[in-house]
Structure 1
């Protein structure tokens, strides 16, 4: 008989395994990243705020040192062609299981763009190979560079291509930017320090060897997919195969193959849905002490499943933008009960979307005060996504 795992127990697992419940805090940023498999990094500020929400101490400098000085964290273009931050020991698995396929698709796309623009004559693929080699050489010589700097180092990299040809937002771009994206997806280059502050969306690039002197371990794709599925189930299970397929961006066939190679157990979720856990993960998880959290936009926890009703309820339309990206959320005991934003003066404003009780209100207020102290007056700008309904309302 299959074990039933209720939404209450799923929320208990979330609180403990995602380092949000009392006593579950991580010791350092890499431990946070491992606990989540990878930290969503489309919005750079979410890496800092999401990581520190899961640690007992630390400040912005703690995360910055892990990213750029100690280099125990690394950015990858990975699942769903999205930028993630993960620990160095997990990076080879993510790269082989997801980034490799992203690189192949992006390379085919770029070859098509070059052919359409007449770049490379009869051999745009060969031309691109030369441009990739030039980009890697120029980056190694500089040690750290922007795409614009590399475009000035070699005429191949300075070649311009037309983007969105024929549309009103048509533009031109140096091929260096596309080449760097390919090198990163191939595990040959890394997004390094941002050009501005910790909230900046513009990065300098570095050779991979500055993070991994021996390069990333060479995993076979199928084995890496199995390992990534195992890590994801440990962090996000119980869940469905569709949840994993959505999170990774894999096809149904790839997802089913990876899961079939694992020792899993079927469970029944609330509502009668079929779920999966690792076979050694069937023991009940006790409910932790009450906890509150203010998680940033695009945080890895709310973006970890496709089916979110068990922790989101009916609040999705107010907390997600039209592209399916989550805004800043307020959590109480494993459920999203509201959202938060900064008003015109930069103050943090929280809004409950349901009555969570006086204990929740006090805990959320305390979390908001800690968040305000952490930000120190910095204004967050959601440039990588649309504003949610609740953010628009709270910002005034």
Structure 2
């Protein structure tokens, strides 16, 4: 008998590992700041969604705590993973932003190459930084208005997108992202907002941030493939970082034969561990943070994860969607729920309704299912 057989983890085992690390198997007693750090940030292009994501994960969550972290500049809203807006700690924003620079440029150019092909991006970045150097928050339109005369052929939208989501390390400042607060996007240089420049790129041939991202990703999402890692962060140049960290990692196979990497001491619960009902916000990385999402969502429903649907986990898997309407939380199952499952969903939906209404309503209802 072979003695070096690599252990196989099926989708249910991977599901329970993900839930445990995402604080969705049991709520965490960590602080809001530590939870944002643990998760490597929360996707946040919809400003109110991180509040639900944290409510679903913390034993006790006061939304004012997250708002205070934003106003005190200990967490920031920034374009980062996959060129989407993420809520990350100030420390991670400063440490990681330079490593994402090439990917962010590439993503914008993929959309606006025809508009920007005659633009010298280094000159555009220098000009934009000079405009922003006074530390005053600006909308994208205000920023572009101050410099678009130099590149009239490019169009304002392409120039603005390249500046605020790629060329300039900027934060989106409050009131954007505060609990129950409105406000459009206003951008300020991270160096002005946080009091120091972002960390410079590492010397050629080294990648300390890449190695850190490998470990941080596996701590929050593992076991996972290197392709999953790339899908989470959007970075193409991580094979060397994975190779450099490999001696620190353990290896498994999934039921399709692909190699999974993980941290040796990270939790991998028994696949039979019960999983409570959990309500997730739009674009939650517990679903989006993988290339292969079979551990948490069926292939036929995969499109929900990129369409902005808010989903409900039942026994650890996406089994329904939810929305808030008229002071109630309405749940639409994706298939038949058993009577106990329906009761658990309604109970959790009532708790969510209380949270969203700040105690004003606990109304919840299941609006459809496929039972006769």
Q: Same fold (TM over 0.5)?
A: yes
Equivalent residue number for residue 163 of structure 2: 179
Distance (whole Å) between structure 2 residues aligned to residue 114 and residue 241 of structure 1: 32
Q: Write the deviation string for residues 165-185 of structure 1: whole angstroms up to 9, x where unpaired.
A: xxxxxx75494564333443x
Q: How does 1:1-396 map to 2 (within 5 A)?
A: 1-28=5-32, 30-67=33-70, 69-103=71-105, 106=108, 113=115, 116=118, 124-125=119-120, 132-141=125-134, 143-151=136-144, 154=146, 156-157=147-148, 161=152, 172-173=156-157, 175=159, 178-184=162-168, 187=169, 189-194=170-175, 198=180, 202-220=184-202, 222-251=207-236, 254-262=237-245, 263=247, 264-281=249-266, 284-286=268-270, 290-316=275-301, 319-320=304-305, 324-343=306-325, 345=326, 347-376=328-357
Shift of 1:76: 2.5
**Structure-2 separation of matches of 1:84 and 1:216:** 17
Supply the distance in 2 between the matched residues of 1:111 and 1:83 (Cα, whole angstroms). 21
How many residues are treated as equivalent by the alignment? Answer: 351
The separation in 2 between residues aligned to 1:201 and 1:300, in whole angstroms, is 25
CA distance in 2, matches of 1:86, 1:73: 5
When normalised by structure 2's length, the TM-score is: 0.79
TM-fit CA distance, 1:18: 0.6
Contact kept in structure 2, 1:107 and 1:182, CA below 8 Å: no
Distance apart, 1:374 and its partner CA: 2.9
- Separation (CA, whole Å) in 2 of partners of 1:133 and 1:364: 52
For the Cα contact (< 8 Å) 1:18–1:54, is it kept in 2?
yes
CA distance in 1, matches of 2:263, 2:176: 42
Q: List runs of 5+ in structure 1 lacking aligned partners.
A: 117-123, 164-170, 378-389
The superposition leaves residues 85-141 of structure 1 with CA deviations (integer Å, 9 ceiling, x where unpaired) of 21122224432332343246647987963565xxxxxxx52xx65554443344343
Structure 1 runs of 4+ with >6 Å offset: 107-112, 390-393
Q: CA RMSD in A?
A: 3.5
Deviation at 1:335, TM superposition (A): 1.5
1:245-266: CA deviations, max 9, x gaps?
A: 2222233xx3322211113222
Q: Which runs of 5+ in 2 are unaligned?
A: 359-365
Contact map agreement 1:339 1:350 (CA 8 A) in 2: yes
Structure 1 length-normalised TM: 0.75
> Distance in 2 between the 1:129 and 1:248 partners?
24
- Cα deviation, residue 37, structure 1: 1.2
Distance across 2 between alignment mates of 1:95 and 1:73: 14
